[in-house]
Amino acid sequence: MRNFIRFIIKYHFAILFFIIEVVALLLVINYNAYQRSSFLSSSNSMSGGLFKRYSAGAEYLMLREINDDLARENAYLRSRLPESFRASRDYFNLVYDSLSQQEYLYRTARVINNSTDRRFNYITLNKGRAHGIEPEMGVISDKGAVGIVKNVSENYSTVISIINTRLKISAKLKDSGFFGSLEWAGDSYQHVYLHDIPRHANVSVGDLVVTSGYSSIFPDGIYLGYVENVDLEKGASFYSIKVKLSVDFKKLAFVEVIGHSIRNEQLTLEKETEDD
Amino acid sequence: MISHLPRYLFNFIFFTLIQVLVLNNIQLSGYVNPYLYIIFIITLPFETPGWLLLLLGFSSGMVIDIFSNTPGMHASATVFMSFLRPYVLRIFAPRDDYQPGTIPTMGYYGAAWFLRYAILLIFAHHLFLFFVEVFSITHFFSTFLRIITSTFFTLVLILIAQLFSKGKKQGR
pLDDT digits (tens, 9 = 90+) for B44-64: 888 888 889 999 999 999 999
CB-defined contacts A:B, below 8 A: 94
What pLDDT does residue A44 have?
Answer: 64
Q: How far off is chain A from B167, nearest CA to CA, in Å?
A: 30
Q: For residue B27, what pLDDT band results from cuts at 50, 70 and 90?
A: low
What pLDDT does residue A159 have?
Answer: 92
Alpha-carbon span B92 to A175, nearest angstrom = 66
What pLDDT does residue A86 have?
Answer: 52
What architecture (CATH level 2) is domain B2-88+101-171? Orthogonal Bundle (1.10)
What pLDDT does residue B171 have?
Answer: 35
Q: Look at residue A180 and give its three-state secondary structure.
A: strand
The phi and psi torsions of A248 (rounded to 5 degrees) equal: -95, 105
Q: Is B68 on the interface with A (CB under 8 A)?
A: yes
Q: Is residue A58 part of a domain?
A: yes
What pLDDT does residue B172 have?
Answer: 35
- DSSP 8-class letter at B99: P
**Residues with Cβ < 8 Å from A31, sequence gap 6 or more?**
B70, B71, B72
Q: A106 with A196, same domain?
A: no
Average pLDDT over residues A263-268: 79
Q: How many CA atoms lie within 13 A of A144 on its CB side?
A: 20
**Closest listed residue to residue B143, CA positions, set B153, B130, B152, B155:** B130
Q: Is residue A266 part of a domain?
A: no
Average pLDDT over residues A112-132: 87
> Across chain B, what does the average pLDDT equal?
84
Alpha-carbon span A76 to A185, nearest angstrom = 33
Q: For residue B75, what pLDDT band results from cuts at 50, 70 and 90?
A: very high
The residue type of A182 is L
Domain count for chain A, please give it.
3
- ipTM tops 0.90: no
Q: A129 with A30, same domain?
A: no
Q: Look at residue A193 and give its three-state secondary structure.
A: strand
Q: A204 with A179, same domain?
A: yes
Q: For residue A85, what pLDDT band results from cuts at 50, 70 and 90?
A: low
Q: Burial, A68: exposed, middle or buried (Cβ in 10 Å; 0-12, 13-18, 19+)?
A: exposed
Q: How far off is chain B from A148, nearest CA to CA, in Å?
A: 16
Average pLDDT over residues A47-74: 79
Q: Is residue A94 part of a domain?
A: no
Q: For residue B84, what pLDDT band results from cuts at 50, 70 and 90?
A: very high
Helix H or strand E encompassing A266 = helix A263-275
**pLDDT at residue A34 tops 50:** no
Q: A125 with A64, same domain?
A: yes
**pLDDT at residue A163 tops 80:** yes
**pLDDT at residue B32 tops 80:** no
Q: Is residue A210 part of a domain?
A: yes
Higher pLDDT, B95 or A179: A179
Q: Is residue A85 part of a domain?
A: no
Domain ranges, residue A239: 168-251
- Considering only CB atoms, which residues of chain A are within 8 Å of chain B? 12-14, 16-17, 20-21, 23-29, 31, 34-35, 40-42, 44, 47, 50-51, 54, 115-120, 122, 158, 186-189
**Residues with Cβ < 8 Å from A191, sequence gap 6 or more?**
A185, A228, A242, A243, A244, A245
- Percent of chain B at pLDDT above 70? 90
Query: B interface mutation test: which of A15, A27, A34 has the most B CBs within 10 A?
Result: A27
Average pLDDT over residues B106-122: 89
What pLDDT does residue B31 have?
Answer: 67
Q: What is the pLDDT of residues A232-254, one digit of tens each?
A: 887 888 888 999 999 988 888 88
Helix H or strand E encompassing A162 = strand A157-164
Q: Is B59 on the interface with A (CB under 8 A)?
A: no
Q: Is-contact A135 A150, C-beta < 8 A?
A: yes
**CATH number where A65 lies:** 2.40.10.340
User: Do A188 and B30 count as a contact with CB atoms less than 8 A apart?
Assistant: yes
Q: Is residue A272 part of a domain?
A: no
Q: A50 with A154, same domain?
A: yes
Task: Please tell me the least confidently modeled range out of A169-173, B9-13, B130-134.
Answer: B130-134
* Beta pairing partners, B22: none
- DSSP 8-class letter at B110: H
Q: Is residue A269 part of a domain?
A: no
Alpha-carbon span A106 to A65, nearest angstrom = 22
Q: A106 with A68, same domain?
A: yes
**pLDDT at residue B170 tops 50:** no
What pLDDT does residue B152 have?
Answer: 92
Q: Burial, B112: exposed, middle or buried (Cβ in 10 Å; 0-12, 13-18, 19+)?
A: exposed
- DSSP 8-class letter at A205: T
What pLDDT does residue B40 have?
Answer: 92
What pLDDT does residue A31 have?
Answer: 65
Q: A65 with A127, same domain?
A: yes
**CATH number where A213 lies:** 2.40.10.350
